[in-house]
Amino acid sequence: MAFAAKTVRGVPRLARQLSTSAPRNTKVAVLGAAGGIGQPLSLLLKTSSVGIKNLALYDVAHAPGVAADVSHIDSVCKVTGHLGPDQLNGALEGANIVVIPAGVPRKPGMSRDDLFNTNASIVATLASAAATVCPSAFLCIITNPVNSMVPLATDIYQRKNVYNNQVVGVTTLDVVRSNTFIAEATGQSPYELDIPVIGGHSGVTILPLLSSIQHSLSPEKVKELTVRIQNAGTEVVEAKAGAGSATLSMAYAGASFTKLITRAIDSSPGSVTACGYAPMPDQNQFSMPYFALPLTITRSGFNSQRTDVALNAFESELVETEVKPQLIKDIEKGIQFSKSFLEKK
């Protein structure tokens, strides 16, 4: 199975393929910039050379300090710090891309589902503000559980009548992990790999399409690697022994995805391709309202109308027996929270 463009590793290659105009003064707002993901994410975006000219760092604590720290880095990107709810709108004004890593991290023994109530309230508040202040900006959600947060945010945008294919869950880390683990198993370079990951962004909903690689793996090895990729987040949580979750690798993945969107914004015309978890059109290959798959990204938004994702028998069975049943529950939870959140406002 072949895809037209590299997902994460192929950013420079994509840049050469695109016909570009002069870079725009792209503004990125990071909501949750003082957290374990937010700080390294802000650092990576500040040092980016893909056209980010303004970086607004928001959090309920310590955001001005983080902004002051990264502002000393010698790049052309201007950094501003925004502290607390009264300064949220200022962070969002004029933003082209809004990235949300805000929320509490996972701890040992905690599932993504355990995070839901606290993080759902945070994401609902931030998404509601973004839908009001910068409704046309890309909204990229990192906060877990992504499977529920994206339906929650999308429902808010739809109820405010501003949804236009601009909301996505960042699943890039699943692709990065797949490339890394397969490279280790096969002896290939991870730079040569671009493994699509479909479904969702937690546990059994993560489905790496290992049938796409040009290397023979035994069925047993495929199952072993699939399970490792699905549980990779837990692997990091346990290794950190209570000191945090996958913050650094997630920041890298989030920055890679954000920079890819920046390239799409600057392309004239053109598009880039990356895996992400997004709303699906009514008629889609997997008969799901939300699903992760390779998305076409243009300056106008995310296009999820893919009908050519090839699966082998093992992958098809997992989609029907594990991915979809769990996703349906996760999606409904997010939509129900959105409904109750807006009714209280």
201 is catalytic: yes
305-313 contacts, C-beta under 8 A, 24 or more apart? 305/281, 309/1, 309/196, 309/198, 309/209, 309/285, 310/1, 310/209, 310/211, 310/212, 311/209, 311/211, 312/211
Instruction: Determine how many CB atoms are found less than 10 A away from the CB of residue 316.
Output: 12
3-state secondary structure of 57: strand
114 is catalytic: no
Instruction: Determine how many CB atoms are found less than 10 A away from the CB of residue 122.
Output: 18
Closest C-alpha among 8, 62, 9, 73 to residue 39: 62
Choosing from 59, 82, 194, 201, which is the catalytic residue?
A: 201
Q: Phi first, then psi: give them for residue 36, nearest 5 degrees.
A: -65, -35
Q: How far is 334 from 7, CA to CA, in rounded Å? A: 27
- The DSSP-derived string for 106-147 is P-TT--GGGGHHHHHHHHHHHHHHHHHH-TTSEEEE-SSPHH
Choosing from 155, 174, 266, 330, which is the catalytic residue?
A: 174
Q: Which residues are catalytic?
A: 174, 201
